[in-house]
Amino acid sequence: MTHGTHSRRLPLIAVGVAVLLWSTSFGISSEVLETASPGVLSVGRFVIGLAVLVPIAVRRPGFARTVRRPRTMLLGLLGVALYYSLTNIGLEFSTAGTIALTNAALPALTAVLGLLILRERLAVRTVVGLVLATVGVAIVAGSGLSLDVGVLLSLIGLASYALYTVLLRKELVTAPLRRPGSEQTATTDVDPLVLATATAVWGTAIMLPWLVLEAATGSASLPADAAGWGGLAFLGIVITAPTIVLFNYGAERLPAAITGILTAAIPALGYLFALLLGEPFDPVTALGGAVALVGVVIASASTPAIDSSPPGSALPPAEDDSA
């Protein structure tokens, strides 16, 4: 495998690993919510994740500059505060398996927004994979997904996350950065960990008033046992911190449709983990999950038609420091 091919595979691998970790979060979050409140879970997992990420990110170039950017605040609102808050509240009204299956909408939402906002043209292989993934998740959804409050909240959160995924790439695609008076494209040495951490900082800050409101109304509750605290720590350290870094790295470099296709694995894998935690097996749901995974494989088996972008290429140029 050539170096160019290898570099183009890395974003696929990063998003794939992020999706695998992401899929485990529904069941674990549901277990933590047995005793903890949604605000405590949402803010707590990111506070723990940031305890891991911030000490690393502050040592890298561009962290303070990235935190100050309005774009970073918007990404934190869409990809952290809205998505995770609405998903965790949804888990209060629905089962982990149901919320995992609701993620069936994410690939199509991401592909459509990529087409409308980024004007991305879809390759034949991508279209075939998207169709298969959509058919698979439609089978999954039709096998027992009910339109309740939890599902509605989850769908709103998914729309927010699809927009977040597209905006991660928008600036890179539509606004190549060049220094004034220079022919050289303005890039920095800042890696994706900086953008992911800065985004999580803003997302956590935006969720803090929700936690304060829970505390003021007496609805806030901490995990009641070691299993709950262990689940919260696992969500923060093993799932949240790696997932946001890996997903940001891949989503910034891949066409939005490809990233969306990869997320089609979430319903199937999330449902599988829900089964392992005791939810009853449904053969129709299993069939739909298998079809969705075939679509993921078809869409991602070939090398993307774009080169991977350098780390930090969607971050501001150095002159933004003075601003």
Q: What is the 3-state secondary structure (H, E, C) of 198-218?
A: HHHHHHHHHHHHHHHHHHHHC
Contact 196, 248 (CB under 8 A): yes
Kindly tell me if the per-residue pLDDT of 316 is higher than 90.
no
Assess if residue 183 is contained within a domain: no
- pLDDT score, position 256: 74
pTM, to two decimals: 0.74
CB neighbours of 55 closer than 8 A, spacing ≥ 6? none
pLDDT interval class at 201 (50, 70, 90): very high
- CA–CA distance, 153 with 44 (Å, rounded to integer): 20
User: Is the pLDDT confidence value at 173 over 70?
Assistant: no
- Looking at per-residue pLDDT, the higher value among 224 and 322 belongs to 224
185, β-bridge pairs: 178
Burial of 282 (0-12, 13-18, 19+ CB in 10 A): middle
User: Is 264 in contact with 136 (CB distance < 8 Å)?
Assistant: yes
**Backbone torsion region of residue 119, taken as left when φ is above 0, otherwise alpha when ψ lies between -120 and 50, otherwise beta:** left
Q: What is the arithmetic mean of pLDDT over 48-57?
A: 94
**83 is a domain residue:** yes
Q: How confident is the model at residue 35 (pLDDT cuts 50, 70, 90)?
A: very high
What pLDDT shows up at residue 172?
56
Give the span between the Cα atoms of 193 and 196, in whole angstroms.
5
As a whole number of angstroms, the distance between CA 73 and CA 66 comes to 9
For residue 311, tell me if it sits in a domain. no
In a domain, 181, yes or no: no
Place 286 in a pLDDT band, splitting at 50, 70 and 90. Answer: confident
Q: pLDDT tens digits, residue range 149-169? A: 887 888 899 999 989 988 887
For 252-275, write each residue's pLDDT tens digit.
Answer: 888 877 787 777 778 778 877 877
Read off the pLDDT of residues 81-97 as tens digits, 9 standing for 90 and up: 999 999 999 888 877 87
How far apart CA 201 and CA 68 sit, in angstroms, is 11
Residue-level pLDDT at 187: 41
Q: Are 109 and 162 in contact (CB under 8 A)?
A: yes
Tell me whether residue 193 is in a domain. yes
In a domain, 317, yes or no: no
Please give the tally of structural domains in the chain. Answer: 1
Spatial neighbors of 198 by CB under 8 A, at least 6 apart, are 57, 63, 66, 67, 69, 72, 76
Domain range for 160: 19-174+188-304
What is the rounded average pLDDT for all residues in the chain?
A: 78
Looking at the domain assignment, is residue 14 inside a domain? Answer: no
User: Helices (DSSP H) in 33-123: which residue ranges?
Assistant: 38-57, 63-68, 70-76, 83-93, 96-102, 105-118
Within a domain: residue 132? Answer: yes
Using CA atoms, how far apart are residues 112 and 119, in angstroms rounded to an integer? 10
Q: Determine which of 4-13, 59-68, 148-157, 299-308 has the lowest per-residue pLDDT on average.
A: 299-308
* Residue 117: predicted pLDDT: 84
Whole-number pLDDT of residue 142: 64
292 has a pLDDT exceeding 70: yes
Residue 44 corresponds to which tokens in the numbers above?
């707590």
Nearest to 257 by CA among 15, 3, 4: 15
Question: What pLDDT does residue 319 have?
Answer: 41
